[in-house]
Amino acid sequence: MNATVSGPLWSDTVAFGNIARPNLIQDIEVDVAIVGAGFTGLWSAYYLKKQAPHLTIAVIDANHVGFGASGRNGGWCSALFPASFNKLAKLFGPDQAKRMHTAMVGNITEIARVIALENIDCDWSHGGTVIAARNRVQLDRARDEVKEHSASGLPANDLEFLSADEIANHANFAGALGGTFTPNCAALNPAKLVHGLAQVVEGLGTQIFEKSPVLQITKHKVSTAKASVNAKFIVRATEGYSPTIKQTRRAVVPVYSLMIATEPLSASFWQKTGLARRQTFSDFRNLVIYGQRTADNRIAFGGRGAPYHFGSQITPQNDLVPEVHSLLEKTLLELFPDVAGSKITHTWGGALGIARDWMASCGLDPETGIAWAGGYVGDGVSTSNLAGRTLADLICGQSSDLTTLPWVNHRSPNWEVEPFRWIGINSALVAVKHADAVEAKHERTSKVNPLLGRLIGE
């Protein structure tokens, strides 16, 4: 297999060139300034405009719409949240944990509603997620997850255990001993969604400024090198890129997730492989992997494993780590050996954002007018929608079911200063890879590696 294009598959599917958006070159005043034109920023603008059409809103991006994780991700629109149900129950009580779960499931219905209403074609397919267990340790993990799920009182049909025969009805994973299925996920093309959303919010009267890096966010003021925006409210929607802004250097760490895409695969491949409803897929290893069958019958497949870069550095070079891309090819072949001989047409990567306590949050400081949302780890496609709806309520002063969810106004601590940050994150990464290597030999490891556990606050 030979790699070809170094860039997201999704970028080829949307027209960037024909939209010329202005740069911010003179001071302006608006009701709401939104920093970042990814899902978080654009969903916030969308729901604000729907709720209060008179508000003047400016979105300011350092690059262009969808430049960040929103234009590069695996396209899992899931109900996954970075903090587990048990962690939420421990922090906020079981009822709040359940409310959060219900809200997350509701995101999928809400996004489906909006894309239908606004005619956003983003290759949506609500097929659920199938996760394979490919060794005995992984199978135990699958069983435990389903047991914990039913013990927590969440709806049983949210997560079902699959035997080896049952998983074969979803996908023909090599060596699958069983696994799980949840209906709570849709596959989508993220670039089509983020660009579609940008056009919708512009249609509602929102201004979007591109190529305008924000240097500082202070009380009611957003400053770039050339101009500033005075605003009653500011939404910081910069996720993994937050360390580029003076006030939020240690709010999250940018951790890279990397992806590959195959060429469109033949009808006979799909006949044998399954995923007929474009179920998103993964397996029960510790190091996250994720895949989807795209609307044009490729596999887009990704995983973590790229190193954290000292000082939270974000550069285009970090998107391409040949060892990680090769490992992704190898892993994909292990899952579906019939991929052998097909071309890998795209390799890419991007930075996602992780808060120190692995707890996503959104909120508003009424004193400064600064709102924020993020820390989604790899689950921001749908969580950002919940953030947008919640921030709109907070900014409009509307108390609602959303504004009392447990992640609202949660404050994560800052990450450690370097070199402790670098040592901690990269050590945990090594430990996770080691756990998978041990488990592949069918030996048992502890459920959450202790080092990783300390890092994610389990």
Ligand X SMILES: Cc1cc2nc3c(=O)[nH]c(=O)nc-3n(C[C@H](O)[C@H](O)[C@H](O)COP(=O)(O)OP(=O)(O)OC[C@H]3O[C@@H](n4cnc5c(N)ncnc54)[C@H](O)[C@@H]3O)c2cc1C
Measured between alpha carbons, how far is 313 from 243 in angstroms, rounded to an integer?
A: 8
Q: Using the rule CB under 6 A, is 85 a contact of ligand X?
A: no
- Number of C-beta neighbours around residue 363 at 10 A: 18
Q: Using the rule CB under 6 A, is 33 a contact of ligand X?
A: no
Q: Using the rule CB under 6 A, is 453 a contact of ligand X?
A: no
Q: Using the rule CB under 6 A, is 308 a contact of ligand X?
A: no
For residue 84 the two structure tokens come to 């587990």
Q: Using the rule CB under 6 A, is 376 a contact of ligand X?
A: yes
Nearer Cβ to ligand X (137/259): 259
- Beta strand segments in 148-212, E: 160-163, 178-182, 185-187, 207-209
The stretches of 350-448 forming alpha helices (DSSP H) are 380-395, 420-440
Q: Which of 7, 213, 264, 307 binds ligand X (CB under 6 A)?
A: 213
Nearer Cβ to ligand X (249/434): 249
Q: Which stretch binds ligand X (CB under 6 A): 55-63, 136-144, 157-165, 401-409?
A: 55-63
Nearer Cβ to ligand X (288/333): 288
Q: How far is the CB of 268 from ligand X (least distance, A)?
A: 27
- Interface with ligand X (CB under 6 A), residue total 46
Buried b (16+ CB within 10 A) or exposed e, 186-216: bbbbbbbbbbbbbbbbbebebbbbbebbbee
Nearer Cβ to ligand X (137/222): 222
Q: Return the DSSP state at 123.
A: -
Nearer Cβ to ligand X (139/245): 245
Q: Using the rule CB under 6 A, is 40 a contact of ligand X?
A: yes
Q: Using the rule CB under 6 A, is 214 a contact of ligand X?
A: yes
CB 350 within 8 A of CB 256: yes
Q: How far is the CB of 65 from ligand X (least distance, A)?
A: 7
Q: How far is the CB of 322 from ligand X (least distance, A)?
A: 16
Burial class (CB in 10 A: 0-12, 13-18, 19+), 340: exposed
Measured between alpha carbons, how far is 20 from 356 in angstroms, rounded to an integer?
A: 38
x-or-dash string of contact with ligand X, 219-258, rule CB under 6 A: ------------------xxxxx--xx-----------x-
For residue 184 the two structure tokens come to 């709570």
Q: Which of 33, 48, 59, 62 binds ligand X (CB under 6 A)?
A: 62
CB 140 within 8 A of CB 442: no
Measured between alpha carbons, how far is 28 from 226 in angstroms, rounded to an integer?
A: 12
Q: Which stretch binds ligand X (CB under 6 A): 94-102, 157-165, 375-383, 437-445?
A: 375-383
Give me the phi and psi of 225, to 5 degrees please.
-65, -30
Interface contacts to ligand X, rule CB under 6 A: 35-41, 60-63, 67-70, 72-76, 78, 213-214, 237-241, 244-245, 257, 259, 290, 302, 349-352, 374, 376, 378-382, 384
